[in-house]
């Protein structure tokens, strides 16, 4: 169990009002929880830059009729097989597939995998999300 530490924060009144409105809209129960998420988000961004361990997901939406595309997506996933935990394929509609690729590894490597997949011609949309896979999850 991690020990909690209390500290004071000074903010301009207007900025705090905007922050309270935002956390209310997002459904946070307290300012503390919102601050914790902001700090975690900043630390995770630092991980991304410094190549620390992350876990996350790459998502792709692509045209299922393009068979060359399927082969290319598969080839790249085999090239990066050491990063991939699992993949889920969803047939979105008659024309489109959604692929969700769960990943774990160095942030830089995960980024290169995501960039390789997203840049394939015919991939309509691609995203990558990462969370810290070590002490930043405390």
Contacts to Ni ion by CB under 5 A: 64, 91, 97
CB of 64 vs Ni ion, minimal distance in Å: 5
CB of 88 vs Ni ion, minimal distance in Å: 11
Give the nearer residue to Ni ion in terms of CB position, either 91 or 125. Answer: 91
Q: Using CA of residue 53, residue 62, residue 70, residue 121, what is the dihedral sign?
A: negative
Nearest residue (beta carbon) to Ni ion: 97
Give the nearer residue to Ni ion in terms of CB position, either 34 or 117. Answer: 117
Phi-psi region of 51 (alpha: psi -120 to 50; beta: other; left: phi over 0): left
**Token representation of residue 120:** 């394939």
CB of 117 vs Ni ion, minimal distance in Å: 15
CB of 93 vs Ni ion, minimal distance in Å: 9
Residue 121: name the closest of 57, 50, 55, 70 by CA. 70
Give the nearer residue to Ni ion in terms of CB position, either 43 or 84. Answer: 84
Helix/strand/coil for 77: helix
Q: Residue 41 half-sphere exposure, CB side, CA atoms within 13 Å?
A: 7
Rounded to 5 degrees, what angle do the CA atoms 28, 32, 37 make? 70
Give the nearer residue to Ni ion in terms of CB position, either 3 or 67. Answer: 67
């Amino acid at each position: 169990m991690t020990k909690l530490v209390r500290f004071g924060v000074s903010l301009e009144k207007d900025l705090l009002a905007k922050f309270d409105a935002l956390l209310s809209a997002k459904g946070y129960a307290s300012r503390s929880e919102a601050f914790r998420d902001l700090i975690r988000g900043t630390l995770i961004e630092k991980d991304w830059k410094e190549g620390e361990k992350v876990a996350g997901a790459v998502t792709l939406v692509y045209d299922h009729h393009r068979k060359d595309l399927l082969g290319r997506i598969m080839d790249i996933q085999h090239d990066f097989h050491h990063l991939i935990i699992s993949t889920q394929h969803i047939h979105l509609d008659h024309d489109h597939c959604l692929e969700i690729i769960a990943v774990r590894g160095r942030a830089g490597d995960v980024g290169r995998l995501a960039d390789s997949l997203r840049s394939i011609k015919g991939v309509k949309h691609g995203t990558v999300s990462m969370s810290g896979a070590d002490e930043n999850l405390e």
